[in-house]
Amino acid sequence: MSSAEHKKMRTCSVLSPFGGQGKTTVVLLTARILEQQGYNVLVVDGNPQSDLSRLLGVIPGRKDDTLLDLIRYDDLAPMEVMYPVEGHPNMRVIPATSKLSEANQYLASLGMGARVLRMRLEPVADIFDVCLIDAPQQDSQLTLTTIGAADSLIMPAEANVKGYQALARALELYAEQKKLGGTQAELLGVVPFRDVWVGYNRTKDCQKWITAMTSLLDGNEELMLPSIRQSEVIKKAITYQTALEEDENLRFPFDKIVEKLTHASSTQHPTPVASN
């Protein structure tokens, strides 16, 4: 029986065509919370900058298999490119190196590159509950294949003019792909990033841009997820592998993403394994 018949894995791509929009932050901290809750989590570093791999402590050697190999070679088992993450037994990462950009040429030559990553991950769809993909930060074939692999999309965007532009482009890309049949993913939501608060109040500038972002969603406020605040605590959580347990406010947007991911309507709902 094929994996597809037992598919339980929900694949979510975290997408933004610009850098510094919070993609890696969302993937990393969401993955940690999911893993803490007992889910089997697969994290895919789709960005040639390979920040996610480095932050997870997985730095492939010159001869090690990475996402590039998985994309290129259809006879390479996905299990062979999955690396364990220290201190996170229920998490695996498919790492990237700067060479990942070489995949663009290959994907372009296929004419059906948007479907490749989805197909490559299919064999493990019955093992993992959630797969989070850190999409690359440019319009490229790699971006299209990460969109094509997804059941759902999350779009983080800085609460400023650059973030607004990034979101506009990401939504455009998503709409194009949907129209062309390159993806069946649903938009799970937009996460404002680096939201600046002073005391109990959000700054006017951030408020302005978040309102503008909501307008890009045709006013659909349900798609506007809780924002990730500008905070040194979050930076430390990323660097020192903590999971924001001590600050509920800062953790809240990630809890909300987890809730969305694990209760999303399509396909089978992931259920956590019994935690020890």
Partner 1 sequence: MPDLQELLEAKRKDWATPDDLSEQPSERSAAKSPSSNPPVETAAPSTQRSAIATKQPSAKEPAPKPEPSEGDHISALLTELDTLPPHNSKLTKFIMRLEPQLADRLNQFCAGPKKLTPEMFVEAILLILDGDEEIEDVLNSEAHQDLKPLLTEQRDGLKALIAHVAQQRAERRSRAGVIRRTLSMAGVDVPK
Q: Does 110 bind partner 1 (CB under 8 A)?
A: yes
CB of 44 to partner 1, least distance (A): 15
Tell me which residue of 146, 186, 174 sits closest to 45, measured CA to CA: 146
CB of 104 to partner 1, least distance (A): 13
Q: Does 122 bind partner 1 (CB under 8 A)?
A: yes
Rounded distance, CA 170 to CA 181, Å? 16
Burial of 98 (0-12, 13-18, 19+ CB in 10 A): exposed
Whether the CA torsion 192, 196, 198, 199 is positive or negative: it is positive
CB of 106 to partner 1, least distance (A): 6
Q: Does 5 bind partner 1 (CB under 8 A)?
A: no
CB of 121 to partner 1, least distance (A): 12
Which string of x and - marks every residue 43-72 that binds partner 1 (by CB under 8 A)? ------------------xxxxx------x
Query: Where does this chain touch partner 1 (CB under 8 A) — which range of 120-128, 131-139, 218-226, 254-262?
Result: 120-128
Q: How many helices (H) and strands (E) in the chain?
A: 10, 10
Q: Does 180 bind partner 1 (CB under 8 A)?
A: no
Q: What count of other Cβ atoms lies within 10 Å of the Cβ of residue 238?
A: 17
Q: Does 187 bind partner 1 (CB under 8 A)?
A: no
DSSP conformation class of 9: P
φ, ψ at 94 (rounded to 5°): -100, 110
Query: Where does this chain touch partner 1 (CB under 8 A) — which range of 26-34, 46-54, 121-129, 163-171?
Result: 121-129
Candidates 40, 47, 101, 152: give the one binding partner 1 (CB under 8 A): 40
Tell me which residue of 164, 148, 124, 153 sits closest to 257, measured CA to CA: 153
DSSP string, 77-130: -GGGG-EEETTEEEEEEE---GGGGGHHHHHHHHS-GGGHHHHHHGGGTTT-SE
175/273 with CB nearer partner 1? 273
Q: Which residues bind partner 1 (CB under 8 A)?
A: 40, 61-65, 72-77, 79-82, 84, 89-90, 92, 106, 109-110, 112, 116, 119, 122-124, 127, 273-274
